Structure 1
């Protein structure tokens, strides 16, 4: 496996990198707000305003010069702050990893991860395998490595440390009681699901080739969006005939929105309503502060369901009181036969006493996982 870029960040410089990342977000926020105000100014000055007729997004003359000046000064100040923080990295120190920092950065990546990546922001999470929060390196594989590999994939706005919920960690318990070696995927949930799936397929193939003992079985334990990433990875792996897809593979979905999440679709509808009036249209930019990853939840995984070979088994657990993912979506059921995952009833289970996040800490869910995986 190639060395991790995140691992190369010395703890003494991590705080400086975080501050630089936050600074860049602040600059982006000021320039973005300026764009919205100028668009409103241009719309109001463009009379008469008629529903459905687009108004100009920028102003002209002295007014336009003022808005351009605001943007220019903001970017100039931001560049100076960025250079200063980079130079102060050796003396700032104290930037070690903490669960609180990891949770905050994961949430920011979930909402703005695609922007963080394209803008080169230091806060952008780079996909990597980790063990107990530490990057996994070729010469530091888990002790007593076994041929049964368990890989966890977390959900939107979360990170690999958050598999522990209400004092319980499904991955930890399965590894301890069922002889798996557990590895966690840490990734930027704001990136497009398809891009994350393709990257994960390649990374997993590298892991299998580097594994010190023959890989007998691979289990992908996926919560929420993690299941969509796993599906995309499986499709890419089968298409490219990657080595890991030739092993026995079991993919377990916990509350995965295979066919979309209604709340994201509601957000899209709100965007369309706001855009009707030329006066309110500039505010669509605020509504669109949703990453590509969140937008992908609108319809889940589009297209036909993958043709799963016999050595690949799919399992799904849904929560009746989820509030985010309908049961049919979590089970991969669809009116269109081509999109139906056709997961057998024996590999589907409905939790009646927990919610979306509660799936992570439910003892009943764990017992169902253990029963499935010991077969």
Structure 2
């Protein structure tokens, strides 16, 4: 995998070739879904028909088994035929894509990102064409991490690099929200060159962290300008990927972790997300009821990436991973309510991530993360997605990231009732 990351993925394919690839991936997925649902229905049928006190069977017998077997056999036959036909057609349409065809469709990108977030590990393990490949992108196009290619793609590249990491079920284009993009704003205000990570958020966080670490090492070697400052800006799950990459890159003695000056976490579930823990609890409950146990298989149709959100897992080793030592680390949490709404802050937070989790707090001191005074902020009256375009967030990003970048000093953060420092860190 590391060798594959020495160059980023090729630009998105356009025209009929891409459409066939999408169709082939969707056909495979439909076949797998039909087989999976048939297996669940057969297991429920077998359990309902079984005698009390006997071991619960997984399959039916007799005519019922013949019927279910026929459905599965026909599905495999048709699915295999469609996949084979599309596989033969795809190379015939391998002409280079026209520039206008390379422009990414926001709708397609959003659908693929959501699909990969939910079942991306399955797509990758089965070789499905819909599985996303990690790449650094600019304006929706993948960058080849070679000096000449970067010079051509980024003629205005500076020595200040900002890498933005999106969250679960999202993509790099979705940093653009309500006409605002933190990357573009910081490029204009602070002189950064913004690069956007695009990745399969359904893979385990540690796998994406390892791939991102390799990608950053390649970027460091190929960047066309002397690097003066590197910052990471991560939203939601992207913060876990950033921490995992810094951890694994340091263990692998990569050079790039020592060049990172700042890491900003926006709504990152450092201590996990309660919605995933609730889903896991429902799986356990369904699994304990004999007739409902087959339905638990449907409940478990979620990716390894989502499962890692249960407790904010970063590495294969379950030991807590502290904040990286060298870079300045900053955290922004959001809350749907106000400071007086303690229950809403503790349970709901921004609707997905509780405030305590976003700020790294934990009852176990060994698992707690400690942000320096003045580097943790809570934005009230804000949901998880609004962290991407709230003016208050943009202002504090300028304060944290524009120092010593050669730009003008950012204006002081205007006092506003919706923004306040975390009282636990000053």
Q: Normalising by structure 1, report the TM-score.
A: 0.94
The answer to whether the 8 Å contact 1:156/1:224 transfers is: yes
User: Among residues 10, 15, 32, which one is paired with 2:36 in the alignment?
Assistant: 32
The answer to whether the 8 Å contact 1:13/1:95 transfers is: no
User: Among residues 226, 238, 253, which one is paired with 2:238 in the alignment?
Assistant: 226
Partner of residue 325, structure 1: 353
Map 1:1-375 onto structure 2 (within 5 A): 2-7=6-11, 9=13, 11-48=15-52, 55-89=56-90, 90=92, 97-137=104-144, 138=146, 139-141=148-150, 142-301=154-313, 303-306=319-322, 308-309=324-325, 311-321=326-336, 322-375=350-403
Aligned residue pairs, count = 371
- Stretch moving more, 10-19 or 41-50: 41-50
Q: Distance in 2 between matches of 1:95 and 1:23?
A: 23
Change (3 A) 1:115 1:206: same
Q: Distance in 1 between matches of 2:102 and 2:182?
A: 29
Residues 202-261 of structure 1: per-residue CA shift (max 9 Å, x gap):
111111111122222211100000001001101101111211012143110000000111
Residues 86-136 of structure 1: per-residue CA shift (max 9 Å, x gap):
344456997963011000110110111011101111000010111010010
Per-residue deviation at 1:175?
Answer: 1.3
Change (3 A) 1:7 1:95: closer
- Stretch moving more, 117-126 or 79-88: 79-88
Change (3 A) 1:17 1:260: same
Q: Distance in 2 between matches of 1:4 and 1:114?
A: 20
Q: Helix, strand or coil: the match of 2:378?
A: strand
Q: Normalising by structure 2, report the TM-score.
A: 0.83
Q: Helix, strand or coil: the match of 1:221?
A: strand
Q: Helix, strand or coil: the match of 1:339?
A: coil
List runs of 5+ in structure 1 lacking aligned partners: none
The answer to whether the 8 Å contact 1:216/1:248 transfers is: no
- Stretch moving more, 75-84 or 217-226: 75-84
Per-residue deviation at 1:59?
Answer: 2.5
Q: Distance in 2 between matches of 1:316 and 1:5?
A: 31
Q: Distance in 1 between matches of 2:26 and 2:260?
A: 43
Change (3 A) 1:189 1:370: same
Q: Distance in 2 between matches of 1:59 and 1:123?
A: 34
